[in-house]
A and B are shown apart, each in its own frame.
Chain A
Amino acid sequence: MKLNSDVNYIVSGLERSGTSMLMQILEASGTPMAIDKKSRPPDDNNPKGYFELEGGKIINKLMDEDFPFSDYRGKFIKITAYGLKFLPTGKYRIIYSQREIEEILDSMEKMAKITDENRTETKELFIKLNNMIMDLIRNRDDVEVLFVDYNAILSEPEPNIRKIYDFLGTEEADLDAMLGCVDKRLYRNRIKR
């Protein structure tokens, strides 16, 4: 399966918003991916892997204007939200994940092995970051974006994964395999009520 070789395809969203699950769904579809599985292997926080390049530390390279986008055209890469602030002019198609903010914060605390004493402040900060980045990519002429909802994908996989399938714009993508990726057992940081 081929994607447009003039375009950089990106999966994004706040850290811990479900970007790895999206990458997993896309990999199952047969979509070309650029993943470096060795630099940050699967662990308890992401049992199926991080689906990242360079251990996910692309942001530093983006800030230094040193990330080789031309090497990754026609493939999906993962760049978490803050990194999108530093996207150079290009041609991009982005799938951007949103998730309940409390779940994101729970997952961040678990991953960083901390209890956030300033959680209210952190929450406001990351909501603000999310809004800023979503506005940024929505308003760029060189970006086409699909916003998806992690919680909705898990509760109603079929219509939500079909949106991703449609966004890929090719009938070669394996929709059944994409649907088979959704693993509710991994929905570990769901808000307990």
Chain B
Amino acid sequence: MAKSKKKVFIPTSLYEKVEEEIASSETKSVDEYMIKLLEEKFLKDSGGNLSNEDEDKVKERLKALGYMD
């Protein structure tokens, strides 16, 4: 199911800067760029270390991929 979304407004000048920034990248829309930027910011700000629970989930995934026993 798609995540619900809210509309935000940014200055046209900023929007155009983002358009320039993504013109030669794989990112295809300003929306996508902003979402990625904000996700990375908030995840980074949420703390540098993985919790023990997080690490266990990482290990589970790495085992499924064959990178760990």
Contact = CB atoms under 8 A, between A and B. Distances in A.
A100 B43 contact: no
B10 interface: no
A149 B25 CA distance: 11
Contacts of A124: 39, 43
A186 interface: no
Given A57-B69, A132-B48, A125 B64 contact: no
Contacts of A190: 26
B20 interface: no
Interface in B17-69: 24-26, 28, 39-40, 43-44, 46, 48-50, 54, 57-59, 61-62, 64-69
Interface of A: 15-16, 40, 55-57, 59-60, 80, 82, 100, 108, 111-112, 114, 120-122, 124-129, 131-132, 135, 151-152, 155-156, 190-191, 193
A127 B66 contact: no
A131 B65 contact: no
A141 B59 CA distance: 27
Contacts of B61: 108, 112, 122, 125-126
Interface of B: 3, 24-26, 28, 39-40, 43-44, 46, 48-50, 54, 57-59, 61-62, 64-69
21 contacts: A15-B67, A57-B66, A57-B67, A57-B68, A59-B62, A59-B68, A60-B69, A108-B61, A108-B65, A121-B57, A122-B61, A125-B58, A127-B40, A128-B54, A132-B48, A132-B50, A152-B25, A155-B26, A156-B24, A190-B26, A191-B26
A157 B22 CA distance: 18
Given A57-B66, A100-B26, 7 more contacts: A59-B62, A125-B61, A128-B43, A129-B58, A131-B48, A132-B50, A151-B26
Given A59-B62, A114-B64, A135 B26 contact: no
A112 B26 contact: no
A112 B64 contact: yes
A126 B68 CA distance: 16
Contacts of A15: 62, 65, 67
Contact of B50 (A16, A112, A128): A128
Given A60-B69, A132-B49, A127 B62 contact: no
